[in-house]
Amino acid sequence: NPPSDCPPDVEVLGRGTWTLLHSIAASYPESPSTSQQSDLLSFVKLFSKLYPCWVCAEDFRTYIGREVPRVESRDDFGKWLCGAHNDVNRKLGKPEFDCSRWQERWRTGWKDGRCD
Ligand code: FAD
């Protein structure tokens, strides 16, 4: 692996980006206003045009066309995003993540207390 002060490859960029996206889900309101919902939807759509891995972005846009982003609540968005991440996991041959546990991974920490 190159030193960490070199430009990111697809993997480093991906890990940092998933951290940001799932963290946005974790801090999204449980009951978002109409304008918060429309901001998140705009963000997801713009992100899908600007993400600087073009094949990744193209597949992500296809996913958005197939599975419309759910922005009605924190848990709806978190589960939708988990599904989008699993779609990439499947494509890359990585294990699928259990989406019922997305909040433990990204918001509350695991029930076994290892993050406390
Ligand atoms: P990552 O997939 O980066 O995951 C980081 C952590 O998130 C994991 O360790 C796990 O704890 C957690 N996690 C895993 N799955 C989920 C889930 N479903 N829900 C919630 N949390 C989860 N790479 C390519 O080579 N080709 C592509 O086409 C491609 N498309 C991408 C599209 C997007 C929108 C993004 C953000 C990234 C894409 N990547 C792509 C990068 C790829 O997804 C990984 O980030 C990269 O391969 C590094 O993988 P990783 O094993 O470190 O874990």
CA of 15 from ligand 1 middle (Å) equals 6
Q: What are 26-46's pLDDT values in tens digits?
A: 999 999 999 999 999 999 999
Q: What are 69-112's pLDDT values in tens digits?
A: 999 999 999 999 999 999 999 999 999 999 999 999 999 999 99
**CB-based contact 14:60 (threshold 8 Å):** no
Please give the Cα distance from 47 to 25 (Å, whole number): 14
Which residue, judged by its Cα, is nearest atom 26 of ligand 1? 56
Q: What is the pLDDT of residue 43?
A: 98
CA of 33 from ligand 1 middle (Å) equals 29
- Cα-Cα end-to-end distance for the chain: 31
pTM: 0.98
Which residue, judged by its Cα, is nearest atom 22 of ligand 1? 97
Can you read off the two tokens belonging to residue 104? 């433990």
Residue 1 has pLDDT above 90, yes or no: no
Reported ipTM exceeds the 0.85 cut: yes
Q: Residue written as tokens 């509350």?
A: 108
Which residue, judged by its Cα, is nearest atom 41 of ligand 1? 14
**CB-based contact 27:40 (threshold 8 Å):** no
Of 7, 18, 32, 40, nearest to 87 by C-alpha is 18
